[in-house]
Amino acid sequence: MVDVAGLELTAEDREVLAHPLVGGMILFTRNYRDPEQLAALCKEILAVPRKSRLLLAVDHEGGRVQRFRVGFTRIPAMRTLGKLCEEDSAKAKDEARLHGLTIGQELSSYGIDLCFAPVLDRDFGVSTVIGDRAFDNRCSTIIELARSFREGLNAAGLAATGKHYPGHGAVAADSHLELPVDRRSMDALQEDLEPFEALIKDGIESLMMAHVRYTSVDHTPASLSKIWIQDLLRKRSGYEGAIFCDDLSMHGAAVVGSMEERARIALDAGCDMLPVCNDRASVLGLLESLKDLKPQKAASDRLKKLYRKEA
């Protein structure tokens, strides 16, 4: 999954987006000026000649993480729903569903397939990068509200992406800048898994892995770990949906080596799609160095289920 720098495609962008190893594109604030421009850009992206169409995605959770603002409904941080839930659970669930529905309707109208939400992390008050992006610290509240939010997305024809498995909220470090290390026992981590397990049982369509090292389980970050992805997520939890690595350009992934090494380790661990953002040179290098790879049918089939549907 790649990105582009501007408000319209360049010749190089089109060449990259047509490459058979590229399966998706992620949009950022820099790609948005106004609704008319976004509609033209999305149309241009989806018109790139390919055997199978691109999966078009954006981080659009609400609060601090909402890429498009002018001309879009302002969605509050999900923590506001957690606070409301303490006073009126039914109203909080209704609002969560409405936020999911609004996001889904607005994004799908531009041809966007996937919103990388909801955040299923618990907030322990130590992670500034998660913070009010989390619904709450209480698993029961997170599960209730995330279910309602996903229901709204689905009603608008969009799939959901739960993140960041197995939980990013208990570490202070920002994985964009360094590798966070969580030294809690597996028993302690198990509670963080509850929201993910609940949404997995519901059939959530995709999950995004955390660039966090959980030393009681594996010294490899979860996003690149066979233990977390294959043994725990796929086998133990029976998860059958799509798995996104978090952005391989983030410093949390850099501990395992070069960009090519990160990509090969992530694929070998079981990730279905690898976002590589804000680093066109690395994208071009990867497309050359990974030219021996063939897209895997099982991964492609899981990702195709994320294409938007007519609501």
Active-site annotation, residues: 176, 246
Q: Could you tell me if 52 and 113 are in contact, meaning their C-beta atoms sit under 8 angstroms apart? A: no
Which residues face 209 on adjacent strands? Answer: 165
Query: Distance between terminal CA atoms of the chain?
Result: 25
Give residues with Cβ within 8 angstroms of 219, minimum separation 6.
213
State the virtual CA torsion across 216, 222, 225, 229 in degrees, nearest 10. 110
Residue by residue, DSSP assigns 197-249 as HHHHHHT-SEEEE---EETTTBSS-GGG-HIIIIIIIIIIS---SEEEPPPTT
Tokens of 208: 């995004």
Long-range CB pairs of 64-71 (<8 Å, 24+ gap) are: 64/132, 64/133, 65/133, 67/27, 67/28, 67/29, 67/31, 67/32, 68/29, 68/32, 68/38, 68/106, 70/34, 71/34, 71/35
Rounded to the nearest 5 degrees, what angle is found at the Cα of 112, between the Cα atoms of 161 and 148?
40
Amino acid at residue number 161: T
- Alpha-carbon distance of 211 to 220, in angstroms, equals 9
φ, ψ of residue 243 to 5 degrees: the values are -120, 120
Distance, C-alpha 6 to centroid of its chain: 22
Report the C-alpha gap between 83 and 222 in whole angstroms. Answer: 30
